[in-house]
């Protein structure tokens, strides 16, 4: 790969900054490293992406997991894959990922929702994979429809761009439609951000899994591709998804990843098998030792849609649950979403309120008639709960702290 002197200097500087960040235990180093690269060489992304076939994955929920599953399907097919496995998904995280590429091949990159419009062109993107959009960090990101509009502008500016997209999410359908789309209906359990038509603003009519606007006719696209129970039906073929990862949300992630892999030329059955081999993604579903012979399973939930999915899963298990919530910048500083989430589902389960905002959680559980302990430290909280099966469901910075502390022992 031909890289300019400036970009090579930038990468060296970035690697040094990343090393510094790691030895000072400030982080994993990807973000600071990328900032340095981008500052020294503003066109680094274009250069670094040369020789790669670039696929971008974005969504409010599931982008890290979908990226990992797609990379697994491509690797199983014998491709050389470069992927940002640490979840560093801003331009600053993408640059060091590409700088570390072993050679030409497939680049599968998770991208923050807001960053998508800025990187499609510089990276020479060949495939965009879009999962879902819902409210997340309202204090920072603003309103959901603004993101959908920004994505739609990308599709309008690139009518030939290939997109694999979820047909069940009105915001995604609105965003992707102007481009060359392969639809797959993944279902949408959280509809509270999809009440109005993204095209004309009137009330959207919902029947079962389909939406249709009574005003302008905007509707779920017709597609034979769909997630049906534990099977992905793709181009008329039924592919069983046997996942090691838990929950309905991971079935949707896997179905999206397999559809994208098939678009990239991977054999469908092979892709479906490959996604089943992934047991934990960047700490999600990771086992955390409690120090008393037991261990807890760590789950990430960042927003009402994610929490609702995770709670549905946990409520069906015979288990105890720790709800660990922070409200730092990366979590969103306003945890009012606690009241949009049906914590009532935890009634009858031993539970604990934890995290820096344990009091907000405790009051929410109190009003949900869920008996609970109050203990800020999630590990201590888990230890205090009975039973062999304990889930720690954590907001972003709580999750990251636990992943940093226990992730190194992950197999």
Partner 1 sequence: MNPRDSAIRIGLVYPELLGTYGDRGNAVVLTQRAKWRGIPAELVEVRAGDPIPDSLDVYLFGGGEDDPQHLAAAGMRGSKQAITQAHAGGAVVLAVCAGFQLVGHRYLAADGSVLEGIGLVDLETRAGPSRLIGEIVVEPSLSHHWGQAGAPATLTGFENHWGRTTIGADVQPLGTVNVGGGNGDGSGVDGALAERFVGTYLHGPVLPRNPQLADRILGWVTGGLPELDSDLEHRLRRDRLHAGSATGVRKWWQDRMLARG
Taking CB under 8 A as the rule, does residue 367 contact partner 1? yes
Of the ranges 13-21, 116-124, 265-273, 334-342, which one interacts with partner 1 (CB under 8 A)? 334-342
Taking CB under 8 A as the rule, does residue 362 contact partner 1? yes
**DSSP label of 221:** P
Which is nearer to partner 1, 35 or 135 (by Cβ)? 135
Residue linked to tokens 């030939």: 160
Q: What size, in residues, is the chain?
A: 411
Which is nearer to partner 1, 138 or 150 (by Cβ)? 138
Which is nearer to partner 1, 192 or 235 (by Cβ)? 192
Taking CB under 8 A as the rule, does residue 377 contact partner 1? no
> How many C-alpha atoms does 88 have within 13 Å on its Cβ side?
21
| Crossing angle (nearest 10°) for helices 91-99 and 30-40 | 90
Q: How far is the CB of 116 from partner 1 (least distance, A)?
A: 21
Cβ contacts of 380 within 8 Å, gap of 6 or more: none
Taking CB under 8 A as the rule, does residue 158 contact partner 1? no
Q: How far is the CB of 90 from partner 1 (least distance, A)?
A: 22
Among 85, 340, 377, 384, binds partner 1 (CB under 8 A): 340
Taking CB under 8 A as the rule, does residue 371 contact partner 1? no
Among 35, 63, 68, 135, binds partner 1 (CB under 8 A): 135
Taking CB under 8 A as the rule, does residue 139 contact partner 1? yes
- Mind giving me the DSSP string for 119-173? HTTTTT--EEEE-------HHHH--HHHHHHHHHHHHHH-TT-EEEEETT-HHHH
Q: How far is the CB of 292 from partner 1 (least distance, A)?
A: 28
Taking CB under 8 A as the rule, does residue 328 contact partner 1? no
**Per residue in 228-248, is it b (16+ CB within 10 Å) or e — as a string?**
eeebbbbeeeebebebebbbb
Give the C-alpha distances (Å, rounded to integers) separating 99 from 13, 102, 360. Answer: 12, 9, 43
Among 80, 85, 189, 196, binds partner 1 (CB under 8 A): 196
Taking CB under 8 A as the rule, does residue 143 contact partner 1? yes
Cβ contacts of 371 within 8 Å, gap of 6 or more: 350, 351
Backbone torsions φ then ψ of 264, nearest 5 degrees: -85, 10
Cα–Cα–Cα angle for 322, 312, 378, nearest 5°? 10
Taking CB under 8 A as the rule, does residue 152 contact partner 1? no
328 within 8 A of 397, measured Cβ to Cβ: yes
Which is nearer to partner 1, 68 or 171 (by Cβ)? 171
Q: How far is the CB of 1 from partner 1 (least distance, A)?
A: 44
Which is nearer to partner 1, 29 or 198 (by Cβ)? 198
Q: How far is the CB of 193 from partner 1 (least distance, A)?
A: 8
Residue 224: CB atoms within 10 Å: 11
Which is nearer to partner 1, 144 or 264 (by Cβ)? 144
Q: How far is the CB of 196 from partner 1 (least distance, A)?
A: 5
Residue linked to tokens 């801003």: 90
Q: How far is the CB of 69 from partner 1 (least distance, A)?
A: 31
C-alpha–C-alpha distance, residues 63 and 273, integer Å: 20
> How many C-alpha atoms does 12 have within 13 Å on its Cβ side?
7
Which is nearer to partner 1, 75 or 309 (by Cβ)? 309
Of the ranges 23-31, 76-84, 131-139, 230-238, which one interacts with partner 1 (CB under 8 A)? 131-139
Taking CB under 8 A as the rule, does residue 203 contact partner 1? yes
Taking CB under 8 A as the rule, does residue 336 contact partner 1? yes
Q: How far is the CB of 340 from partner 1 (least distance, A)?
A: 5
Backbone torsions φ then ψ of 257, nearest 5 degrees: -65, -45
C-alpha–C-alpha distance, residues 333 and 335, integer Å: 6
Taking CB under 8 A as the rule, does residue 363 contact partner 1? yes
C-alpha–C-alpha distance, residues 390 and 290, integer Å: 10
Q: How far is the CB of 362 from partner 1 (least distance, A)?
A: 6
Of the ranges 76-84, 115-123, 252-260, 337-345, which one interacts with partner 1 (CB under 8 A)? 337-345
Largest CA distance in the chain: 63
Q: Which positions lie near partner 1, rule CB under 8 A?
A: 135, 138-139, 143-145, 191-192, 195-196, 201-203, 333-334, 336-340, 359-360, 362-364, 366-369
């Amino acid at each position: 790969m031909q890289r300019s002197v400036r970009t090579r200097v930038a990468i060296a500087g970035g690697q040094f900054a990343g090393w510094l960040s790691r030895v000072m235990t400030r982080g994993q180093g990807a973000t600071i490293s990328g900032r340095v690269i981008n500052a020294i060489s503003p066109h680094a992304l274009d250069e670094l992406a040369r020789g790669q076939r670039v696929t971008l994955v974005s969504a409010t929920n599931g982008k890290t997991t979908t990226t990992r599953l797609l990379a697994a399907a491509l690797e199983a097919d014998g491709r050389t894959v470069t992927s940002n496995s640490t979840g560093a998904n801003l331009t600053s995280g993408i640059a060091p990922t590409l700088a570390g590429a072993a050679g030409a091949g497939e680049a599968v990159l998770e991208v923050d929702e807001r960053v998508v419009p800025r990187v499609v062109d510089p990276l020479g993107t060949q495939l965009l994979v879009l999962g879902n959009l819902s409210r997340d960090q309202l204090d920072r990101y603003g309103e959901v429809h603004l993101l959908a509009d920004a994505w739609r502008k990308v599709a309008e500016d690139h009518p030939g761009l290939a997109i694999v997209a979820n047909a069940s999410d009105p915001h995604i359908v609105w965003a992707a439609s102007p481009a060359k789309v392969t639809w797959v209906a993944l279902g949408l359990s959280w509809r509270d951000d999809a009440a109005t038509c993204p095209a004309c603003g009137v009330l959207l009519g919902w029947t079962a899994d389909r939406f249709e606007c009574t005003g302008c006719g905007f509707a779920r696209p017709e597609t034979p591709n769909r997630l049906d129970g534990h099977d992905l039906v793709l181009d008329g073929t039924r592919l069983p998804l046997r996942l090691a990862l838990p929950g309905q949300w991971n079935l949707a992630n896997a179905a999206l990843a397999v559809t994208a892999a098939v678009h990239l030329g991977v054999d469908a059955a092979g892709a479906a098998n490959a996604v089943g081999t992934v047991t934990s993604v960047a700490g999600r579903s990771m086992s955390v030792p409690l120090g008393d012979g037991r261990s807890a399973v760590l789950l990430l939930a960042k927003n009402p849609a994610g929490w609702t999915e995770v709670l549905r899963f946990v409520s069906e298990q015979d288990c105890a649950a720790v709800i660990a919530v922070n409200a730092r910048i990366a979590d969103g500083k306003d945890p009012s979403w606690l009241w949009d989430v049906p914590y009532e589902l935890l009634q009858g389960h031993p539970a604990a309120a934890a995290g820096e905002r344990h009091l907000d959680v405790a009051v929410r559980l109190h009003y949900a008639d869920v008996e609970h302990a109050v203990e800020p430290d999630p590990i201590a909280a888990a230890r205090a709960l009975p039973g062999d099966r304990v889930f720690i469901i954590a907001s972003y910075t709580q999750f990251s702290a636990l992943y940093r502390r226990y992730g190194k022992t992950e197999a």
